[in-house]
Amino acid sequence: MTLDLTFTARDIANIRFAVSPIGEVVASVRVVKDPSAHPLLRPWAEQVRRRLRDVDWPLLSDLVPVPTVAIAGFTCTPPATSMPDLDLELATMRSAGHRVRSDLDAVGGPGTKLLRALYDDPDEGLARLEREIRDYWAAAMAPYWPRLRSLLEGEILYRARLLAEGGAQRMLADLDEAVTWDDGTLRLRHRYVSGARSLRGLGLLLVPCVFAWPRVFSVTTPPYQPTVRYPPRGIATLWERRAVDPPRALAAVLGGTRARLLAELDQPASTRDLAQRAGLSEPGANQHLTALRRAGLCTAHRSGRYVLYARTAVAEALLAVEPPG
């Protein structure tokens, strides 16, 4: 089936991009529930499923069925700004109580006990959903967010460059293998929806979404801005084990041990794991990690009994620098 999005000149002028933390959360639930259907994302799922056993998220799970035909719009409203944080998107969700019932009706109604409770009392249900999303984020998303965000921002910069070089046609032409551009119409291969949709002069919001892979998702119904969520380029590289030797110039500034610990944080890891990799005692590794955290080069994320360290965007940039000569 094919969904055709028809553009006017006004729609082309109103194309914009955004990153959506809550959109990544909702899309990632599909991966946790069915890792075998998402082989590129399976390494992430295997890392986080153990930690998610200590997290209570049944309402979020019920809102994202597998297989996923449609998801209630209030769970991941198209972002109003280009780089919202999770707090802003949760505030938007909490303000959507008046749309809960109509959005649930649009996707088949409240089919579980928890969804019925949400339907009957949207404000209380959304408060519970916010708590679940925050806990899920802490366990499954926050340690990975600097790397995910870096990939998403790189995708937006790439698309912006194509738009500047060749206009909307050039930028949209290679968006995804399931997407084609033909004389003012964006055609999406779709599993469940077909027909033509007008963008209503609102333009199109393009949201690269790592955990959407391998699908492209669309929002075309009012009151939301028409939106396409698509997998960005480079997802396969996210979970690769990378070389652990830090740049010599960085080691000269930070010291060899701390530079090595940063290099080992190509994936979020615990103090024990890092100590074993770097040949340190756990107290010694913890001392170095504390110094790196205070310098803004790594973050610590606690979820239940787990504490994971992750590199920040600043550290990623430092490790990517090639010395002159």
Is 84 within 8 Å of 25 (Cβ atoms)? no
Question: CB neighbours of 65 closer than 8 A, spacing ≥ 6?
Answer: none
Question: CB neighbours of 197 closer than 8 A, spacing ≥ 6?
Answer: 3, 4, 5, 6, 220, 226
pLDDT, tens digit (0-9, with 9 covering 90-100), for 9-22: 999 999 999 999 99
Q: Given a cut of 70, is residue 211 above it in pLDDT?
A: yes
pLDDT, tens digit (0-9, with 9 covering 90-100), for 213-255: 999 999 888 888 899 999 999 898 887 665 567 888 888 899 9
CB neighbours of residue 79 within 10 Å:
23
- Give strand pairing partners of 310: 299
pLDDT of residue 137: 97
Per residue in 272-306, is it b (16+ CB within 10 Å) or e — as a string?
ebbbebbebeeeebbebbeebeeeebbbbbebeee
Q: Given a cut of 60, is residue 324 above it in pLDDT?
A: no
pLDDT of residue 173: 83
pLDDT of residue 241: 61
pLDDT of residue 182: 85
Mean pLDDT check: name the lowest of 51-55, 279-283, 287-291, 319-323.
Answer: 319-323
pLDDT of residue 242: 59
Question: CB neighbours of 325 closer than 8 A, spacing ≥ 6?
Answer: none
Average pLDDT of the chain is 90
For the chain, the C-alpha Rg in angstroms (whole number) is 21
Domain boundaries, the chain: 2-236, 241-320
**Residues 83, 149: Cα–Cα separation, whole Å:** 10
**Residues 232, 237: Cα–Cα separation, whole Å:** 11
pLDDT of residue 174: 84
CATH architecture of 241-320: Orthogonal Bundle (1.10)
pLDDT of residue 304: 64
Burial class (CB in 10 A: 0-12, 13-18, 19+), 31: buried
pLDDT of residue 193: 78
DSSP state of 229: E
Residue that wins the pLDDT comparison between 32 and 168:
32
- Closest among 268, 129, 256, 191 to 2, alpha carbons compared: 191
**Residues 89, 141: Cα–Cα separation, whole Å:** 15
Q: Given a cut of 80, is residue 267 above it in pLDDT?
A: no
pLDDT, tens digit (0-9, with 9 covering 90-100), for 76-88: 899 989 999 999 9
Q: Average the pLDDT over 142-150 and give the result.
A: 86
pLDDT of residue 244: 64
Q: Average the pLDDT over 49-68 and give the result.
A: 93
pLDDT of residue 321: 75
pLDDT of residue 167: 87
Q: Average the pLDDT over 183-204 and give the result.
A: 87
pLDDT of residue 16: 93
